[in-house]
């Protein structure tokens, strides 16, 4: 019986230590989430409006603009940018991003994948490790981008992608990331990054967008397009960064609750075992005293 009590005490101590860790991780993630949420909240309207403006301008221009970034080619070679995190313990965040990437390859680019023409550009250690383990062709120069998350570092990856597309190394580039909604909700999305899609203009939008361009549309597009594409990838990375901290905070909160329930159950088990041990000892004492009297 004493051995059983010792085992339960050790489990209570172990679960209590784990609970302290999960509480601390929740607090750290909450602090990081606040900063990450502020960053994406300020960035998103700017990035979305820039993208809409670019698509509208490109839709009103015929031919090849922006150095070939809007050229639609037969899809033979595909690059998929997958944004994950560097660390785990964030629920299904990384698993869902990777699952969406593999589902996209299976359902959308199956023929290209069978020919070995689907390449992954992972942004985040977890995605890099998974795709390397599964033998996917990769561009592995930028997977550690979260070790120093700045616009300049993201820009390097974006420029690499843009140059590869213009050089016809890839005919299609998709971006997979987690769009931050709130701490408990993330939307995993796959967006076409290149070629840039044209927005079909209606008579109403044409009337509303009857602008005079100085310099010309072509010069404006060639100047703005690379900067806007850099911004789109940076927005995806910031979205995923905020989603990661929200997912980790939620996961650690749930883990703390589960630890509390486990502690409650273990304490009940300990008290029952202790009561049983006391009862046994009292019974032995009473029996011994009765035997002496007899």
Active site members: 90
Q: What are the structure tokens assigned to 265, written together?
A: 């159950």
Residue 67 CA to residue 64 CA, distance in Å, equals 7
- Residue pair 274/12 in contact (Cβ under 8 Å)? The answer is no
Q: What are the structure tokens assigned to 113, written together?
A: 């994948």
**Cβ neighbours around 277 below 10 Å, total:** 14
**Cβ neighbours around 200 below 10 Å, total:** 9
Q: What are the structure tokens assigned to 193, written together?
A: 């990054």
Tell me the Ramachandran region of residue 66: left when phi exceeds 0, alpha when psi lies from -120 to 50, beta otherwise: left
156: which residues sit within 8 A by CB, 6+ positions away?
A: 142
Residue 151 CA to residue 153 CA, distance in Å, equals 6
């Amino acid at each position: 019986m004493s051995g059983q009590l010792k085992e339960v005490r050790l489990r209570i101590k172990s679960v209590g230590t784990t609970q302290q860790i999960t509480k601390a991780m929740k607090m750290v993630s909450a602090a990081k989430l606040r900063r990450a949420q502020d960053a994406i909240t300020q960035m998103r309207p700017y990035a979305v409006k820039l993208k809409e403006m670019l698509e509208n301008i490109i839709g009103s221009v015929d031919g090849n603009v922006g150095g070939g970034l809007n050229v639609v080619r037969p899809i033979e070679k595909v690059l998929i940018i997958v944004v994950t995190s560097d660390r785990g313990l964030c629920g299904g965040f990384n698993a869902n991003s990777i699952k969406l990437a593999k589902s996209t390859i299976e359902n959308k680019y199956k023929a290209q994948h069978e020919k070995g023409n689907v390449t992954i550009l992972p942004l985040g250690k977890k995605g890099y490790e998974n795709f390397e383990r599964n033998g996917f062709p990769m561009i592995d120069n930028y997977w550690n981008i979260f070790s120093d998350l700045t616009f300049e570092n993201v820009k390097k990856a974006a420029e690499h992608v843009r140059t590869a597309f213009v050089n016809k190394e890839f005919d299609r580039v998709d971006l997979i990331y987690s769009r931050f909604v709130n701490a408990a909700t993330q939307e995993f999305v796959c967006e076409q990054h290149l070629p840039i899609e044209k927005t079909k203009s209606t008579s109403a939008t044409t009337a509303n967008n009857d602008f005079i361009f100085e310099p010309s549309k072509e010069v404006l597009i060639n100047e703005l397009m690379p900067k806007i594409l850099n911004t789109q990838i940076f927005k995806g990375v910031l979205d995923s960064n905020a989603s990661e901290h929200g997912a980790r905070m939620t996961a650690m909160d749930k883990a703390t609750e589960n630890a509390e329930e486990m502690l409650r159950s273990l304490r009940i088990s300990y008290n029952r075992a202790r009561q049983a041990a006391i009862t046994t000892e009292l019974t032995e004492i009473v029996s011994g005293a009765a035997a002496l009297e007899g």
